[in-house]
C-alpha cells in the first residue's frame, strides 16, 4: 500500500488540490506551506507515523471538507513550529 498515494486520492476525492497553500503568520511574517509539502514531510516519518497520518486524514473526511482543512492547518502548524524552533537554541 502506498500511503502517500492513498492520501492524495482522498484529497482528490474531496476536491482539494494538493498544491494549495496554507498561510501561517508568525511574528508578523507570513509562511506558506503547500498541502503537498506537508504531506511529503510527514511521509518521511516512520511507517507507524504515516499510518497514523492516513488514519487521522480519513477521520477528518468524516468531518466534511472543513475537517480536512483543519487537519492540514494543524499538521502545518506543527511542522512550521518545529522548523522554526530548530533555528533557535532553546
- Kindly tell me the sign of the dihedral angle through the C-alpha atoms of 7, 9, 10, 11: positive
pTM, two decimal places = 0.85
What's residue 90's pLDDT?
Answer: 46
How far apart, in Å, do the first and last CA atoms of the chain sit? 39
pLDDT in tens, 1-40: 699 999 999 999 999 999 999 999 888 889 899 999 999 9
Strand partners, 26: 29
- Mean residue pLDDT of the chain comes to 89
The span from the CA of 79 to the CA of 88, in Å, is: 15
Dist CA 1 CA 19 (whole Å): 23
Domain-wise residue ranges, the chain: 3-86
Amino acid at each position: 500500500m502506498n500511503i502517500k498515494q492513498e492520501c492524495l486520492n482522498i484529497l482528490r476525492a474531496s476536491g482539494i488540490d494538493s498544491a494549495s497553500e496554507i498561510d501561517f503568520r508568525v511574528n508578523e511574517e507570513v509562511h506558506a506551506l503547500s498541502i503537498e509539502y506537508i504531506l511529503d514531510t510527514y511521509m518521511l516519518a516512520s511507517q507507524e507515523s504515516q499510518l497514523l497520518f492516513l488514519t487521522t486524514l480519513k477521520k477528518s473526511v468524516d468531518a466534511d471538507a472543513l475537517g480536512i482543512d483543519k487537519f492540514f492547518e494543524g499538521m502545518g502548524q506543527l511542522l512550521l513550529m518545529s522548523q522554526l524552533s530548530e533555528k533557535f537554541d532553546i
